[in-house]
Amino acid sequence: MMTLTQNDTQKILEQAYQAAIIEESLLRVDKKGKKTTTKMHIVVVDRGGRIIGQKSMEDAWMGSISIARAKAFTAVAFSSNENALSTRAIGILSQPGQPLWQIGNSNISEGVIEFPGGLPLYKNGELVGGIGVSGDGVDKDENVAIAGAKNFEAPEAIRVDVVTRNLVSYKG
């Protein structure tokens, strides 16, 4: 079974951090009212959902730590070697009338997130973990998660957007 090495985890965290430091914040401004960059928490979990790496930016919201962890957990918990679901996809599939309606209510202890910012991570086509990012807006979070997952992306054939012929978005 493939796993994320310590070097892999550090690479993922650094890739995400480098994207975060240039991502314009949706909600933050400096003392003169000028837009600033995001402040985020980035979490990487292994295949079992255990935190194996975390990078937090100064002044990132404390509440975002548990959200980033839950995003990483959600991405890995609902993906496999045969399917890749992002937290964006979980959000779409958990709406009324959809196949995962109310899935968030079934996993209260670990926390299931139904909005963007979490992606599964793969090595050689095998699920090895997840990345979750939380900070200044979910689309910003997803941009940073995508950057962090570079070279650890899900195989295209198993991504939910490909499997459903774009009926369900994998990422924005």
Q: Is 87 exposed, middle or buried (0-12, 13-18, 19+ CB in 10 A)?
A: buried
pLDDT band at 108 (very low <50, low <70, confident <90, very high): low
Residue 107: what pLDDT?
65
Mean pLDDT of 110-120: 91
Instruction: Yes or no: say if 57 and 18 are a contact pair by the CB < 8 Å rule.
Output: no
The pTM of this model reads 0.95
Q: Which of 27-36, 39-48, 110-119, 146-155 has the lowest mean pLDDT?
A: 110-119
- The 10s digit of each residue's pLDDT in 18-54 is 999 999 999 999 999 999 999 999 999 999 999 999 9
Residue 111: what pLDDT?
81
Domains within the chain, CATH numbers bracketed: 6-163 (3.30.450.150)
